Amino acid sequence: MDALARAHALDAYAAETAGCVRCPLAETRSRVVFGSGNLDAGLMLVGEGPGFQEDQGGEPYAGQAGALLEQLLAGIGLRRDEVYLTTVLKCRPPQNRDPLELEIASCEPHLVRQVELVRPRVVATLGNFATRLLSGRSHGITRVHGQEQEVVLGSTTVVLFPLYHPAAALYTPSMLRELRDDFSRLPALLGQGLSGGVSGAPVAQAVHAVHAASAVLAAPAASAVLAAPATEIPTVAAEDAVAVGATQLGLF
């Protein structure tokens, strides 16, 4: 299947998934947040699930975490529309609580199909839930971040590269530094391809599409966070971190 055929197939699958009722989250969501970006991307980023802004706006990675993610991508020469962005869960859990096993199991086939149709060389998992699901290992992100492994997802073999979630790094200066360091390794992984072989395909291809009907909600720029010394990066109390869903979503 060529890139154009895969793009059409992914669009059709997104339309089908918009009516998903596999789990009770269908009763509380505003919409399915399927994914967005380059349908022939070399890099796919997979987070946990939509938050409030994503549920309202329809695209993954909104708000300050999304702005930080765009800055991290820019640091390695990529734009948001040159990669493919998605999450394990396609519907927001109420109050941003942890995903349940039933919800993860219900959404896993959607994610695997996305990987099969986009066919990225590298899948970067953001946070604990995405990393544990796709790696098949129980280790937390603190232990395995920055450690690539080759995995088979459906019919597609990819390099899996665990990363801290930007939402967690926003509130933890040391984590932000490690996230930036790990991100700096992505260009080499994208150029290296699978099993050390050099891939001749460009990272960004001509086919671009967005599955969401609404634009991403406005978010404060994260450039100041990235540029600031560690001592100037804002921190918040634990209860505030919970309020934004950082600890609840298994991001640490």
pTM for the complete prediction?
A: 0.78
Domains of the chain, with CATH numbers? 3-243 (3.40.470.10)
Task: Give the pLDDT band of residue 194 (cuts 50, 70, 90).
Answer: low
Residue 232 class from Cβ within 10 Å (0-12 exposed, 13-18 middle, 19+ buried)?
exposed
Task: Give the pLDDT band of residue 192 (cuts 50, 70, 90).
Answer: confident
- Per cent of the chain over pLDDT 70 is 76
What's at 94, amino acid-wise? P
The 3-class SS string of the chain reads: CCHHHHHHHHHHHHHHHCCCCCCHHHHCCCCCCCCEEECCCCEEEEECCCCHHHHHHCCCCCHHHHHHHHHHHHHCCCCHHHCEEEECCCCCCHHHCCCCHHHHHHHHHHHHHHHHHHCCCEEEEECHHHHHHHHCCCCCHHHHCCCCEEEEECCEEEEEEEECCHHHHCCCHHHHHHHHHHHCCHHHHHHHCHHHCCCCCCCCCCCEEECCCCCCCCCCCCHHHHHCCHHHCCCCCHHHHHHCCCCCCCCC
Q: Write the pLDDT tens digit of every residue in 67-113.
A: 999 999 999 999 999 999 999 999 999 998 999 999 999 999 999 99
pLDDT for 193 equals 55
Residue, of 227 and 144, whose pLDDT is higher: 144
Picking from 38, 41, 65, the residue whose alpha carbon sits closest to that of residue 51 is 65
pLDDT for 1 equals 85
